Structure 1
Amino acid sequence: MMQLTESGQPQAPMLRIGFWLMDDFDFYALANALEPLRLANQLAGRSVCEWQILSLEGQPLKAGNGIATTTARLDQVHRLDVLILCGGDNPHLQTEHPELRAQLIYWAAQPVGLGALGKAGWLLAQIGALEGFRCSLPEPIASMTSAALSELTPVAAPFCVDRKRMTCVGPQSVQGLMHELLARTHGRGLILRMEKHAARQARPLLPVHDAPEKLQATLALMGEHLKQTLGIDELADAMGISRRHLERLFKSSLGCSPSRHYLDLRLQQARRLLRAGEQSLSNVAHGCGFVSVQHFFRCYRQYFGAHPREDMGLVTTALCAG
């Protein structure tokens, strides 16, 4: 039965994804797939997706960069909506494994989405799982015959989702593929929030030299009042301009409101203090203008995707380790 939200609206079902790892898999591609899923859960405030890391035999597997990853057995997988292959640079060697080939053929016949990251897409092509589907694949591998290639319908796009098949050309396009899967289950609004969050995280917090003088002065004033914060009207009065003018300055130069940027500054300062490891959580919270520790925790988790405790003393720890 479909659950309802507090407003009485239907709640979209959870998206369940399995990542099927193979020897020497591309760790970068896997990381690029998992991060959008983690962020989607964070911004939605609930689990809108979940994932399982799988392999044929359920043993730890090493990526191409040598990092070992724990996996669960593919034949013990929980219910899935999508199964995505994550292989390495030599996928043509994988299909020589009879059990792997049999599993590929089995899953291609199941009523679940079947996809692949980068060169692993050629595994699907080799068993005929992409026939009749549009696909985005990297350069053909040497073992692909011209007859097999003629059965494909490639598209000039970083990724492609065509009914129950999902492919992408490489690690950099994986995020787009994950966004598309999330959007089809939970709507474009969630993806827009994720993109805004990423843009805010990437935005520099220091004033640039060619920024308007009033904006630079406001940023400096904010930096001087992180504990006893000033209201937006107070900031505008100090600059001798209207609130609306100040908001336009921030929007045009930094892409956000003054209050949003002020909060970013305080959170960045809080993270620096936590990593220095010299103050308690409550002192950091109050020293950065938060009225309560609970409010600080909530804002910090929404911005950084982690609890403040996870950042405590990291600089001290790194220095000791060095």
Structure 2
Amino acid sequence: MLQLSESGRPQPPVLRIGFWLMDAFDMYALANALEPLRLANQLAGGEVCRWQMLSLDGQSLNASNGIATHTARLDQAQAFDVLILCGGDNPQLQAEHPQLIAQLNHWALQPVSLGALGSAGWLLAKIGALKGFRCSLPEPAAYLAFAAFSQLTPVAAPFCVDRQRLTCVGPQAVQGLMHDLLARSHGRGLILRMEKHAARQARPLLPVQDAPAKLQATLALMNEHLSRTLGIDELAEAMGISVRHLERLFKRSLGCSPARHYLDLRLQQARQLLRGGEQSLSEVATACGFVSLQHFFRCYRQYFGAHPRDHMGTGLLKRGSMLAVPASSRVGSLPH
């Protein structure tokens, strides 16, 4: 049955990805693949993608840096739409593994998208899985002299998605590959929000003493009115400037709108109060200017990627006064 969002629009299905790990896999590449997926779920306020770590035998595997990762058996995996091979710097050893090659041949014939990160793509080339597909692969080592390579159609790009084949040249290109997958399944708008979030997180802290005087005064006024929030027109009037001028000040100095920054302040205050563990969810919502619990839950989950109760301190939990809220609450969009 097709799910609908709160707006009544069809809800895109969850993108299901299996990461097929090999011994000494590249942890950097895997991390670069997982982080966009995690952020997509956080900003969407729900599960838009789901992933699982897989291997041939379902044992824990050590990455090339020695970090152990638990995996499930590939033949016992949950259903997925995309299967991505994650290897290390020496695909020659895997190419000599008959069980792995047999499984690759099997999955190359299945109605799922098959991909590989970095040099693992040469294993797809070895079995002929890239024949007739454009691909993006790193420079081959001297020992990678497979006859099938003459049938490749390489492209001069960091990553390539051609129908049911996904390839990329290395760890730095993995994020772009994941963004492309998410854009195809859930739209470019989600990717733009992810990029905006990343830019905001990478923005250095603005020394308040160096900010324009009107901006400093507005920030102070916002901090003084977190429970009874002021409208943007009220803030502008208090500063003796136009709303447009105030918006330009925030955009130029903080890279966001006054409403966006005001909401950030209130949500950060909410997390601080929750961690103190002395107030209920309803009390925290009121103290931070939210007119309804449902609106508070939606904004909080989208900003922090967690329900407010997940950040509650132990004091209130011990008194057993935590408010129960359905975990299925959906998340709306936040102003920017």
C-alpha distance 66-293 of structure 1, shift in aligned 2 (>3 A): farther
Match of residue 109 from structure 1: 109
- The within-5 A match list for 1:68-217 is 68-145=68-145, 147-204=147-204, 206-207=206-207, 211-217=211-217
User: Which segment drifts farther, 113-122 or 199-208?
Assistant: 199-208
Partners of 2:89 and 2:69 in 1: how far apart? 18
Deviations 1:143-169 (A, max 9, x none): 212755443322222211011110112
User: Which segment drifts farther, 10-19 or 110-119?
Assistant: 10-19
C-alpha distance 114-252 of structure 1, shift in aligned 2 (>3 A): same
Match of residue 49 from structure 1: 49
Partners of 2:4 and 2:228 in 1: how far apart? 42
Whose RCO is larger (CA < 8 A, sep 6+)?
2
Deviations 1:11-44 (A, max 9, x none): 4333221111111222232222223223333433
User: Which segment drifts farther, 236-245 or 63-72?
Assistant: 63-72
Contact 1:158 1:169 in 2 (8 A): yes
**Sequence identity percentage:** 79
Task: Give the TM-score, by structure 1 length.
Answer: 0.84
Partners of 1:203 and 1:296 in 2: how far apart? 26
Partners of 1:203 and 1:223 in 2: how far apart? 21
Q: Which amino acid aligns with 2:82?
A: V
User: Which segment drifts farther, 164-173 or 147-156?
Assistant: 147-156
CA shift, 1:187, in A, is 1.9
C-alpha distance 146-71 of structure 1, shift in aligned 2 (>3 A): closer
Deviations 1:191-212 (A, max 9, x none): 2233233334444564566543
Match of residue 320 from structure 1: none
C-alpha distance 273-28 of structure 1, shift in aligned 2 (>3 A): farther
Paired residues, what number?
Answer: 313
Q: Which amino acid aligns with 2:246?
A: L
Q: Which amino acid aligns with 1:113?
A: S
Structure 1 position 15 matched with structure 2 position 15? yes
Task: Give the TM-score, by structure 2 length.
Answer: 0.81
User: Which segment drifts farther, 228-237 or 139-148?
Assistant: 139-148
Contact 2:44 2:302 in 1 (8 A): no
SS at match of 1:65: coil
Q: Which runs of 5+ in 1 are unaligned?
A: 315-322
Partners of 2:219 and 2:250 in 1: how far apart? 10
C-alpha distance 43-105 of structure 1, shift in aligned 2 (>3 A): same
Partners of 1:113 and 1:146 in 2: how far apart? 23
User: Which segment drifts farther, 145-154 or 75-84?
Assistant: 145-154
CA shift, 1:286, in A, is 4.2
Partners of 2:130 and 2:309 in 1: how far apart? 47
Q: Which runs of 5+ in 2 are unaligned?
A: 315-336
Partners of 2:227 and 2:10 in 1: how far apart? 42
